[in-house]
């Protein structure tokens, strides 16, 4: 099997369609369709169930997709290892950053890295932690900034832990409190971040432990818009304290959430067993230097 065919098939599944997969790998939809048919001929069985809407994997397709992800990740590791012969003077570093808090935590690392290694091309991918985890798993990026806990497929280095705070307008009686639990907000509409953000899953999990499903009135991954919605009195929004103190305006009160297992616990993550190029090791060493982890054993 050719790597290119496997890559096209994997992209069809990841992008949930042939046309979007074609855009992602910079080719035509007919080329993608032909590659998938040829792959099916080699396997001797259909890989996709074409009788349903969207993209559904057959049992054979599940195997090819799962194994294909590993093959593509190994291919990327091989290319990075070959490129490592050139050292840290040249190369590419691919990083995944979340839309919430990434700038505050990693801008100092990014700036210092550029000063020390100006020849390294840094490419950023920005998504929520859930999406970044999937992109990291297939090897499209070398590191992701993710909220803990993460899958056992990854290794991680802690960066910073912050409590969640509620952003709530003064018109709500809860705005006068110094701290509260999610149970105190069961009758208040929620403003969440949206699909792909681990923070939402953490918040909803806490609500479920209290035995209720919150009313969600809006979702936005744009921090400024989220803060404005909260200030307007539409509902309560949530951000890590570090971000909320920097970005929220005078129209909202910040109330600390006293809730177990809901801290915003950010870490740098990478695939367990993945080859780390000199450029990647330099990034990890700099994160350790800036955030103080000298006690960690070297990779």
Domain spans of the chain, in order of start? 3-81, 87-161+264-291, 164-257
User: Homologous superfamily of 164-257 in CATH?
Assistant: Periplasmic binding protein-like II (3.40.190.10)
Q: Is the CA virtual torsion 188, 193, 199, 205 positive or negative?
A: positive
User: Is 294's pLDDT higher than 60?
Assistant: no
pLDDT of residue 86: 54
Do 3-81 and 87-161+264-291 come out as alike in CATH topology? no
CA dihedral 141, 146, 148, 151 (to 10 degrees): -30
pLDDT in tens, 106-125: 888 998 888 888 888 899 99
pLDDT of residue 298: 34
User: Is 155's pLDDT higher than 60?
Assistant: yes
User: Is 297's pLDDT higher than 70?
Assistant: no
Fold of 87-161+264-291: D-Maltodextrin-Binding Protein; domain 2 (3.40.190)
Q: What is the mean pLDDT of residues 187-210?
A: 93
222/264 Cα distance (integer angstroms):
18
| Architecture label for domain 3-81 | Orthogonal Bundle (1.10)
Least confident of 41-45, 75-79, 186-190, 288-292: 75-79
CB atoms under 10 Å from CB of 48, counted, come to 20
Residues in the chain: 299
**Ranges of H-type helices in the chain:** 3-15, 18-24, 29-43, 59-83, 102-116, 129-137, 198-209, 223-231, 241-247, 278-291
209/131 Cα distance (integer angstroms):
25
Residue reference for tokens 């802690």 = 158
Nearest to 130 by CA among 194, 191, 65, 209: 194
260/266 Cα distance (integer angstroms):
16
């Amino acid at each position: 099997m050719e790597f290119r065919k496997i890559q096209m098939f994997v992209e069809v599944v990841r992008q949930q369609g042939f046309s979007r997969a074609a855009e992602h790998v910079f080719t035509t939809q007919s080329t993608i369709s032909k590659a998938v048919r040829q792959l099916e001929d080699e396997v001797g069985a259909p890989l996709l169930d074409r009788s349903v809407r969207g993209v559904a994997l057959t049992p054979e397709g599940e195997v090819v997709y799962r194994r294909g992800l590993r093959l593509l990740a190994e291919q990327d590791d091989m290319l990075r290892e070959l490129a490592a012969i050139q050292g840290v003077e040249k190369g590419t570093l691919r990083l995944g950053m979340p839309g919430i808090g990434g700038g505050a935590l990693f801008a100092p690392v990014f700036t210092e890295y550029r000063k020390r290694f100006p020849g390294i091309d840094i490419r950023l991918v920005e998504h929520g932690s859930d999406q970044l985890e999937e992109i990291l798993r297939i090897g499209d990026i070398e590191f992701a900034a993710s909220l803990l806990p993460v899958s056992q497929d990854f290794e991680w280095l802690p960066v910073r832990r912050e409590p969640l705070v509620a952003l709530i307008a003064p018109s709500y009686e809860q705005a006068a409190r110094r701290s509260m639990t999610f149970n105190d907000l069961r009758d208040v509409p929620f403003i969440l971040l949206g699909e792909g953000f681990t923070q939402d899953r953490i918040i909803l999990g806490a609500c479920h432990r209290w035995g209720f499903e919150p009313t969600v009135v809006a979702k936005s991954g744009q921090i400024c818009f989220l803060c404005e919605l909260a200030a307007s009195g539409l509902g309560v929004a949530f951000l890590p304290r570090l971000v909320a103190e920097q970005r929220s305006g005078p129209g909202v009160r910040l109330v600390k959430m006293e809730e177990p297992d809901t801290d915003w616990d950010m870490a740098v993550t990478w695939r367990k067993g993945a080859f780390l190029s000199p450029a990647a090791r330099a990034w990890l060493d700099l994160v350790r230097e800036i955030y103080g982890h000298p006690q960690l054993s070297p990779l």
